[in-house]
Each structure stands twice: as structure tokens, then as C-alpha cells.
Amino acid sequence: MDKFVIEGPTPLKGEIAISGSKNAALPLMAASILGNGPSTLHLIPKLRDIYTFNNVIRVTGTKVEFHEAENKLVIDPTHLSHTEAPYDLVRKMRASFYMLGALVGRTGQAKVSLPGGCAWGPRPVDLHLKGMEAMGINIDLDEGYVYASIDGDDVEGGEFTLDPSSVGATINLVLAAVKRAKKFVIKNAAKEPDVVLLCNMLVKMGADIEGIGTDTLTVRKADELRGVEMSNDPDRIETGTYMIAAAMHPESDLTLTGCKPEDLGTFPKHFKKLGVDYSVDGTTIRIRSKEKINPVSVKTEIYPGFPTDLQAQWATLMTQADGESKITDTIYFDRFSYVPELNRLGAKLKVEKNRVTVNGKTELSGASVMSTDLRASVSLVMAGMAAEGTTEVLRVYHLDRGYENLEDKLNSVGASIKRVSEE
């Protein structure tokens, strides 16, 4: 098991290229098995979750080739013959549950293990299953597996309202419906860029989907989908993370390339309130930090609101703001495992229910801290880069699930991060 040893403080100066989005790539990979031939996906990041999902897909008999040097993935489902996604793979990553919609959409049946993933918060799959039942798909649960099947070649469809709105459930229902449902309407559908990109790929493959980008999606059955070539989106959470990391350090001057600023939703509006210099030129974002940053309170919301996946990073940034701020998470109520770890570094954070209050500015000092999930981990790395002295961040395997070449990218712009074995 690896850990990071970080020397700080280090302002960030230079240029970082943004990688492809993991959260957008995984649905595209699932969609690829619906085609009648190979699909080629570009801008796929080299991440643990991508490798895991490659193996989940391979179990079905689908051929998967990852051309790592080109960040290109070729998925050929021509010989797909096995309709199971087993526990030993699905338990490693919740997004593997997309195989339920993809397999029942492809073959009319699926056996998929209930999912695993980060060790925080309830993320029930009830919405996925209830939505499929509303579509006319038979759903049975037995010994930790979901069995999905349809009678005949298609189902009538119908209508289902997601309450609350869910990215994962929207994706799974679309995957299940495109080849099987005569007409299926998803209300309160997620509008995240990941959902829009998936729907656009499916339409390119030959699917019939109305309302893309809105909260009502209408899917009508397509008899056949073809393999296509598709480019993934840049990672908006990685973009926001590096913007925040730069803002934490006086004297930072960081340029991010290959971004998709329009996917950031309302995040830039909050970022501008910090008082740092922030400019956008096409797909390039530049951040020049200031000696003093303003405290800015935020509340996470579904897209295009402030992302829950940037909540921990924002709280870390607020330790360096002059004054009190509050961060409220309305998506997940218990996503604050990073708080005691930041306090070990000298921060002053207090959690009450789904809100953390941050009293800044505090001087951070190096210590040994433990990461518990993906976004908590990167917030501790950011804190270590702002702290005086040496910080050890343990269990960085979480980071390898979601940030491509994190330490290499940060070291290239001035950070001092070494990956070493905890043993």
C-alpha cells in the first residue's frame, strides 16, 4: 500500500493538461456493449476504476483493448456471450452496476452483483431497480445478486420519476431502455454532462432519445445500435480540484489546458468570489492567486449547482480564507470523513449534521493523515501542499481510482510529492 510524502508549502506555477473524465468514461464503456460492432473511445484516463471496469466487461466475452499511450479504448462486443457481472469485480466499484442496464439492454437478461465503492454514505440502487420494474423488466434479488430479465424481445416501457434525481439511475435506465422499451419516459432525470455525453453517444449509435440535457428523457426502442467512435469529456472535477489547489497558495500562477469550462456549472461563480485572478480562453483556464482570499460559503446541489465532488476540496481551501465559511452538502449527508484529518494538520473545522463550518485563516503544519475516499484523499494532498513541513497521506490508492498521474502533474508545476510504500 502506498502513501504520499509531501513537503510544503509549494505554490503552483506552470501548466497542467486535464485528463478525460472517469465518471463520463464509464457510461460510455457500458454503452459500447450495446453496439453490433466495435466502438472506439478517446480521452480515456489511465485509472484504477477504468482497468476494473475493463475487466468487468471482459467477463461477458467482450474484447477490450486499452491503448494506454493514446488514452484510447476499443470495445468489441461481437462475441458477448456471458450476462453476469460477478461480485469480486463489482464490489470494487459502484459504477460496475451500469452493467445491469447494458446487459439487459443487449441480451434481455442480466445477473449483476450489488455494488461496492467508496466507504461512505448510503447510495441505494433502489431507484435503478424500481425504474426498471416500471419499464416492464422483471427484477429479482438473491444472495447479493440482481437478476433482470424480460419476457420476449421488448417491454412496453411507461414512465418513472426519479426522486431524488440520480446520475447513476438515469444512466442505467437509459442503457436498459434504448433497445428494449417501446417508449419510456424518465422524469427528474439527471442533467449532468456525463448523462448528456452518454445520450449523445447512444444517438450516434442509432438510439432514439428526446430531451437530452433536460430533466425529462423520452426513449423509444431502436432495433439495432452500431459501434461508433466517440471522444470522452475532460474531467470537470479534476479541473475544479486544480483550480482550488492553485488558489490555496499565494504566488500561484497555474494554467489548465484541455478543459471544458461550460461543464463547470455554477462552480466558477463561487470561485470568482474568492478574489483570485481567474480567466478563461477557449479550453484554457488560468488562475493567479492572491495573498488574501475571501471566505465563500457554498451549498452542494445537483448539476449545474456546486458539485458534491468538490465539497472536500472547497473546505480545505477555506482553511486559507480570511474568515468563517460554511459548506453544506445536500447530496450526501455524511461526506465529511476528511474533517478530523484536516484538523490534525491545524485546521479549525466543525461538523454539524450535513454542514461543516471552517474558521480561517489557519496555519497548517505537516502531520500523518489517513485518506478514506477519493475526494477526501485529494483534499488532504492539497492541505499537505499548503502546510509547513512534511505531511504523510496514507492509503492513496483511493486517489488512483480518480486522478490520472496526480503526483506527476502537481510535481511538474512545483509541488513536492513522493509516492513511497507504507511498509
- The answer to whether the annotation marks 215 as part of a ligand binding site is no
- The answer to whether the annotation marks 74 as part of a ligand binding site is no
SS (H, E, C) 367-398: CEEECCCHHHHHHHHHHHHHCEEEEEEECCHH
Selected catalytic residue, list 57, 90, 93, 118: 118
- The answer to whether the annotation marks 405 as part of a ligand binding site is no
Residues 6+ apart with CB under 8 A from 192: 167, 302, 303
- The answer to whether the annotation marks 172 as part of a ligand binding site is no
Cα–Cα–Cα angle for 400, 289, 403, rounded to 5 degrees: 10
- How many whole angstroms separate alpha carbon 237 and alpha carbon 402? 9
Residue 259: active-site member? no
- The answer to whether the annotation marks 380 as part of a ligand binding site is no
- The answer to whether the annotation marks 123 as part of a ligand binding site is yes
- The answer to whether the annotation marks 264 as part of a ligand binding site is no
- The answer to whether the annotation marks 223 as part of a ligand binding site is no
If we measure between CA atoms, which residue out of 238, 233, 193 comes closest to residue 18? 238
With 0-12 CB in 10 A as exposed, 13-18 as middle and 19+ as buried, what is 50?
buried
- The answer to whether the annotation marks 50 as part of a ligand binding site is no
Return the SS3 of 105.
Answer: helix
Please, which residues bridge with residue 369 across strands? Answer: 393
> What's phi and psi for 155, nearest 5 deg?
-125, 160
Q: Order the strands of the 208-210 sheet from edge to edge.
A: 155-161, 181-187, 216-220, 208-210
- The answer to whether the annotation marks 54 as part of a ligand binding site is no
Task: Compute the radius of gyration of the chain from its Cα atoms.
Answer: 22
C-alpha cell at 300: 452542494
Q: Which residues are annotated as a binding site for UDP-N-acetyl-alpha-D-glucosamine?
A: 94, 123-127, 309, 331
Active site residues: 118
Q: Which residues are annotated as a binding site?
A: 22-23, 94, 123-127, 309, 331
Q: Which residues are annotated as a binding site for phosphoenolpyruvate?
A: 22-23
